[in-house]
Structure 1
Amino acid sequence: MAATALGAASVLGYLDARLRLSSDLRVVFGATKAKVKLDRAQKQDKNSLWYLFEDAAKQRKGADCLVCEGRTLSWDEVYNRAHQLANWMLEQGLQRGETIAIFLQNKPAYPILWLACLAIDVIPAFINYNLTDKGLTHCISVAKPRLVVFDADLAAPIADIASDLANAHSDLRFVRWVDEFYSGSPGEKSISLPDEVSAKEVVLTEAELSRCSASRVPDERRNGITWHSTCMLIYTSGTTGLPKAAIVLHSRCRGAAQFWTTVNRFGPDTRIYTPMPLYHSTASVLAICTAWNSQSTVIIGRKFSASTFWRDVKASDATVVQYVGEVLRYLLAVPPSPEDKKHRVRLAYGNGCRPDVWEKFRDRFGVPVISEFFASSEGNGSLINYNGNTYGAGAVGTHGALLRLLMKDKMVILRTDPVTEEPARGKDGLCIRAENNEPGELVTQIVVETGYENFAGYHDNPSATAKKVLRDVVKKGDVYFRTGDLLRRDADGLWYFADRLGDTFRWKSENVATTDVAEALGQVVGEANVYGVLVPGYDGRAGCAAIPKSAGTVDFATLSAHVDKTLPRYAQPLFVRLVESLEQTGTLKQTKVALRNEGVDPAQVSDPVYWLDPSSRQYKPFGVAEWEALKAGKIKL
């Protein structure tokens, strides 16, 4: 009997490993549970994200809700402060559906201000606190806010644009937020707004807020919110132009919170450390909002620092850490320490972990599971790879036999021309699916009725919204969201990020994925940003790698041999540019636009540039003489 049971267990284990049924079932369970909770909220007229937090606060009460730099706020404290702020906002005359702009650094006030907005059905626009001048003016203006709530420590960039904003928006007012995290002295104004707008400024301190009523805002203020109601505005990274304000729905937030709770095994004992910017959906939705659903504690890092990351994790007793972009690579760049594994972290989750970093991070820091995902603020679909072993390391998602069946027409990779950026179509006018391991644009089916599968578009930007919609994909009349990302899926159902559409370039009639080249270079240099540049006399773009000073001294002999060994000729970077630093978004993702536009013309670039000399196949200095020889057609690349 025991032998039979053991044999059955062995067979089941083998089938699960082969078909990944348990992984698929957890995803299905997470999605189903999210749908059930959404349906229940719909019937109760409690679609607002507010109720997710309120239910948790009533249960957790004195437990830790938010932690930041040693300061701890219980669920009760956050609940009361949110109501005080909500009542203050009501006194300012804010109406349902109006917008405020939040320009704060990472601190507990950020989610509390968001909660106050939820309590009174006001829409917050999360503004990147790194913005200045035209970019900042654009993002605030797009939202058409009644109030701009700005951090007292961020007064300088607001002061620079306040007059222009006030002239363009006559009813706009400015709220200077002063709390215990303010670097100045209490009552001190480090930077004043221009005289002509000073009458429109209000200074809000914690002392003043404490005098406001903490009475609960009645449900009537939130009645009638639907799955399609706007919860907040979150801006795109702006890597290809000015940021766009993505409309994020209540149903999308609630669905994501439940799904992430299930697949990442979050609960009341989970303590999530995130130093990622709260203006971005990774931290705001997938940490803060998800914690409201899972009743977990969030430790807010004021700013990412590779040198203090693990110290903060240990001090706050975090069990989960969050990352975006190149964060894990930067952590590996810090010299090893005996303290590297002295923590309780069981899981690192986020997006942007490169395959060459994956196992190095897990081995060095002793984090057993990496949960890499693929998603976007405005998108209507996601992938996840909850990974505790070497199989599938580096993948952004995994679909076993069950999910491949269920998601066949939900998430589709299309054969795409990387130059025209248009999908290929067959004689029937429908799009052509990419083959296994063929990079193509991922599109996700739009289902308007569900809300969380809908693409709500960009606020006050119909043309940008229209560009993200693709029709007649699998069958006539269907509608899909264009992610703008190139992915590939192998025969086993593992999904891998290939490139941003527009970053892939063509050289020698071949398509070159910048991520593949960067991964190869990462084996011998600390960091590289790969892109294509125009060269005179040639079609397409030649590969160029920008390497920052922080990557250390480049051994060009080793680099020459490495690219020759690991990359096909057409993918080898013909140029290397040594830069002071790499430009990044606020979420530590590399940007390529400025580098690509500057190219390698010595008249435009003052940084040292090297080229893969065609005669020696070695990287050598590249200057005016070589550039002129290229222009004259004397050199063949």
Structure 2
Amino acid sequence: MSQDTISARDIVRQIPGVMRRAPNIVKGLYYYSLKNNKKELTLGSLIERNAEKYGARPAILYEDRRLSYTEFNAWANRIAHYLRSQGLGRGDSIALFLENRPELLAIVAGAAKLGVACAMLNTSQKGKVLEHSINLIAPQMIVVGEELQAPFESIRDKITFGHSQPYLFLADTDTLKDVGQTPDGYINLAEKVSQYTGTNPTVTDRPTMGDTAIYLFTSGTTGLPKAAPGSHRKFVKAYGGFGLMSLNMGPSDVLYCTLPLYHGTGLLVCWGSVLAGGSAIAMRRKFSASAFWDDVRKYGATTFGYVGELCRYLLNQPPSDNDRHHSLQKMIGNGLRPSIWKPFKDRFGIETVAELYASSEGNIGFSNFFNMENTVGFSTAPYALVKFHDGTRDPVRNAKGYMEKVKTGEPGLLLGEITAKWSFEGYTQKEATEKSILRDAFKKGDQWFNTGDVLREIGCGHLQFVDRMGDTYRWKGENVSTTEVENIIDASGLTEEAIVYGVEIPGTNGKAGMVTLVPQMQDNQTGIHDFDADKLFSYLQENLPAYAIPVFVRVTRGIEKTGTFKYKKVDLKNAGYSLDKDDDDVYVWLPRTESYTRLDNELLKKIDGGGVSF
């Protein structure tokens, strides 16, 4: 399995482009490097600055709505005045349960001016998971959008808020023009805020850069969600590091964002980048591959925010003569697989891929500053790549109790050193925070954030993502990287999606490889059952060592994901190679055969009974 390398010569080739961005790079470096958490530089102050400097320029584009920075700032101010009238101030919190629409950003901005933190609830959550997430924060109030009223109502009586009238409602309309009907038990937020002035609030207890601005929640793919506080400093870092240094954003730029704004890539990275340039954010409720390019042309978007799977969906659309008839030049996000990186850039004519590595709770980030291929870029934060125990988040310690760094090119567990400058904000749950901290790693008294991710250095300080810990598995005495096997399968041209993981077979050691895939260009009626498993097997034999070839293949019509487009690998692993899903076909590579065999109940019983010697 090959890996990319980056040389000094590759970096030098990018110098002319870097020089063109020099003014914004210098400016961005200043914001990215700010250390003083007491500085009164916050999300609210950044928006006020843009209103002064770019007042008539568009701040938000949504459907047929256009809000200038002056209008957006005034809206946020009215919200701030209302929240203050309800006794809220610095250190308080409210929860937001809204889908992507301008109201969400206005509330975050208005609350930020007072030092009130917004808990960005995952819009796909319901029941006990939603209840758990809200209770992690214990907010004073909650803002519920009409589009999500039903799931909130189902748990409303199980939540205790810190305000006597905590239920705020927003109709699913343009609430600046139509406040809608107010359901029983709620206060209509749009109606209330319309009564207040749009002037910047005078705040005596002003928030500072180190205060919490938002709470982001983990996706809960491996258990109940955790809440990670995000300070104003994270917006400032995104403003400088991504908006200015990586993307060179300016007032004429428009960033098209379909990513959920309850997620860090959408809210922090995309919106933070937009604010840096006095640019506009063009929003859509949810991603649509078929509508993507029409929206890009409609808004004149120059940039878009991505996760890797969105790029895959776009690449899977039938080629069109209009594939390059658009204004997009730049993209920022994470998870773009090497197997589709160049095909995506080439087909759609994208110049800059600002791939990044970061996490909502972490203290370490990487950015593809030099626009290199297949890399998350480099970081100015102190980090280490260390040896780890296979299939775990645990680093290896030597006889002296210390960790050992891996050699250049070798995969290692990424750690970010915790210092005064590179602080670790962690989670609201102290126990969860403590579990992510490693102490005495290289010397007594040091502290490091355990990212749980495996990366490798590929030259000139640039890293490449390898695996999320737990996604590697051991089979036939060999370690298998799920990401690398997925990249190989991606390149086959036989699949639209492919997810690789390890499953246990009774009577064997380690875990056997399994892939769940969606066939390429499948027919809605017969595509699954017509899948050529033998063709896949021949291709895998040519491109993978035997131990890395998936033993099981599940062919399905679609793979379920979280609201942030992460695959629910836990569910896939739990399903294993069972035949419970009638619409799926499952294949197995039996010992001493040269093809896949379709699994039936009789063969399944034999495998589970230890009757097949893998």
TM-score by length of 2: 0.91
Matched, 1:428 2:400: yes
| CA distance in structure 1 between the partners assigned to 2:83 and 2:586 by the alignment | 55
Q: 1:180 aligns with which of 168, 173, 190?
A: 173
One-letter code aligned to 2:611: K
| CA distance in structure 2 between the partners assigned to 1:14 and 1:502 by the alignment | 35
Aligned residue number for residue 17 of structure 1: 12
Aligned residue number for residue 339 of structure 2: 356
Residue aligned with 1:395, SS: coil
- The 1:556/1:36 distance shift into structure 2, 3 A limit, reads closer
Aligned residue number for residue 220 of structure 2: 238
- The 1:635/1:37 distance shift into structure 2, 3 A limit, reads closer
Which is further off, 54-63 or 89-98? 89-98
Q: 1:114 aligns with which of 89, 108, 112?
A: 108
| CA distance in structure 2 between the partners assigned to 1:247 and 1:477 by the alignment | 25
Q: 1:370 aligns with which of 336, 353, 356?
A: 353
Aligned residue number for residue 256 of structure 1: 238
More helix by share: 1
- The 1:359/1:556 distance shift into structure 2, 3 A limit, reads same
CA shift for structure 1 position 356 = 0.9
Aligned residue number for residue 66 of structure 1: 60
Native 8 Å contact 1:369 1:386 kept in 2 = no
Residue aligned with 2:154, SS: helix
| CA distance in structure 1 between the partners assigned to 2:259 and 2:503 by the alignment | 32
Aligned residue number for residue 204 of structure 1: 189
Matched, 1:441 2:423: no
Aligned residue number for residue 478 of structure 1: 446
Residue aligned with 1:527, SS: strand
| CA distance in structure 2 between the partners assigned to 1:386 and 1:16 by the alignment | 10
CA shift for structure 1 position 283 = 1.3
| CA distance in structure 1 between the partners assigned to 2:295 and 2:235 by the alignment | 28
Q: 2:31 aligns with which of 34, 49, 58?
A: 34
CA shift for structure 1 position 16 = 5.3
Aligned residue number for residue 217 of structure 1: 201
Matched, 1:489 2:483: no
Question: What percentage of aligned pairs have identical amino acids?
Answer: 32
CA shift for structure 1 position 130 = 1.3
Aligned residue number for residue 597 of structure 1: 574
One-letter code aligned to 1:478: D
| CA distance in structure 2 between the partners assigned to 1:585 and 1:349 by the alignment | 20
One-letter code aligned to 1:213: T
CA shift for structure 1 position 548 = 3.0
Which is further off, 81-90 or 596-605? 596-605
- The 1:22/1:296 distance shift into structure 2, 3 A limit, reads closer
Residue aligned with 1:33, SS: helix
- The 1:290/1:16 distance shift into structure 2, 3 A limit, reads closer
CA shift for structure 1 position 216 = 2.3
One-letter code aligned to 1:417: H
Q: How does 1:310-329 map to 2 (within 5 A)?
A: 310-329=293-312
Which is further off, 212-221 or 560-569? 212-221
Q: 1:624 aligns with which of 578, 593, 601?
A: 601
CA shift for structure 1 position 497 = 1.0
| CA distance in structure 2 between the partners assigned to 1:131 and 1:512 by the alignment | 33
Q: 1:546 aligns with which of 500, 516, 527?
A: 516
Residue aligned with 1:219, SS: coil
| CA distance in structure 1 between the partners assigned to 2:240 and 2:589 by the alignment | 51
| CA distance in structure 1 between the partners assigned to 2:254 and 2:34 by the alignment | 24
CA shift for structure 1 position 38 = 5.5
CA shift for structure 1 position 28 = 8.3
Native 8 Å contact 1:178 1:204 kept in 2 = no
Native 8 Å contact 2:40 2:209 kept in 1 = no
Q: 1:125 aligns with which of 119, 126, 131?
A: 119
* Structure 2 portions without partners, runs of 5+: 1-7
Which is further off, 289-298 or 129-138? 289-298
- The 1:468/1:431 distance shift into structure 2, 3 A limit, reads same
- The 1:607/1:133 distance shift into structure 2, 3 A limit, reads same
Matched, 1:82 2:51: no
Q: 1:608 aligns with which of 553, 577, 585?
A: 585
| CA distance in structure 2 between the partners assigned to 1:319 and 1:412 by the alignment | 35
Aligned residue number for residue 527 of structure 1: 497
CA shift for structure 1 position 636 = 2.1
Native 8 Å contact 1:146 1:172 kept in 2 = no
Native 8 Å contact 1:148 1:172 kept in 2 = no
Native 8 Å contact 1:68 1:107 kept in 2 = yes
Native 8 Å contact 1:85 1:113 kept in 2 = yes
Aligned residue number for residue 389 of structure 2: 417
Matched, 1:55 2:49: yes
One-letter code aligned to 2:71: E
Q: 1:397 aligns with which of 364, 374, 377?
A: 377
Residue aligned with 1:243, SS: coil
CA shift for structure 1 position 266 = 1.2
CA shift for structure 1 position 93 = 2.2
- The 1:215/1:179 distance shift into structure 2, 3 A limit, reads farther
Residue aligned with 2:56, SS: coil
| CA distance in structure 1 between the partners assigned to 2:581 and 2:257 by the alignment | 39
CA shift for structure 1 position 623 = 2.2
- The 1:362/1:300 distance shift into structure 2, 3 A limit, reads same
For residues 87-125 of structure 1, the C-alpha deviation after alignment (integer angstroms, 9 at most, x for no partner) is 111222223211100011111111110011111111110
For residues 428-468 of structure 1, the C-alpha deviation after alignment (integer angstroms, 9 at most, x for no partner) is 32111112222221111111x23xx2111101x11110111
| CA distance in structure 2 between the partners assigned to 1:62 and 1:23 by the alignment | 30
CA shift for structure 1 position 576 = 0.7
| CA distance in structure 1 between the partners assigned to 2:577 and 2:32 by the alignment | 52
Which is further off, 322-331 or 286-295? 286-295
Aligned residue number for residue 3 of structure 2: none
Aligned residue number for residue 426 of structure 2: 457
Native 8 Å contact 1:325 1:589 kept in 2 = no
CA shift for structure 1 position 355 = 0.7
| CA distance in structure 1 between the partners assigned to 2:104 and 2:585 by the alignment | 42
| CA distance in structure 1 between the partners assigned to 2:277 and 2:476 by the alignment | 52
- The 1:46/1:106 distance shift into structure 2, 3 A limit, reads same
Residue aligned with 1:180, SS: coil
Q: CA RMSD in A?
A: 2.7
| CA distance in structure 1 between the partners assigned to 2:501 and 2:451 by the alignment | 20
| CA distance in structure 1 between the partners assigned to 2:153 and 2:108 by the alignment | 24
Native 8 Å contact 2:336 2:355 kept in 1 = yes
Matched, 1:467 2:435: yes
| CA distance in structure 2 between the partners assigned to 1:358 and 1:50 by the alignment | 36
| CA distance in structure 1 between the partners assigned to 2:224 and 2:390 by the alignment | 22
Aligned residue number for residue 552 of structure 2: 575
For residues 578-602 of structure 1, the C-alpha deviation after alignment (integer angstroms, 9 at most, x for no partner) is 2342121222122200111221244
| CA distance in structure 1 between the partners assigned to 2:165 and 2:405 by the alignment | 49
| CA distance in structure 1 between the partners assigned to 2:520 and 2:99 by the alignment | 26
TM-score by length of 1: 0.88
| CA distance in structure 2 between the partners assigned to 1:294 and 1:428 by the alignment | 50
Aligned residue number for residue 5 of structure 2: none
CA shift for structure 1 position 209 = 2.9
| CA distance in structure 2 between the partners assigned to 1:61 and 1:31 by the alignment | 22
- The 1:488/1:16 distance shift into structure 2, 3 A limit, reads closer
Native 8 Å contact 2:332 2:354 kept in 1 = yes
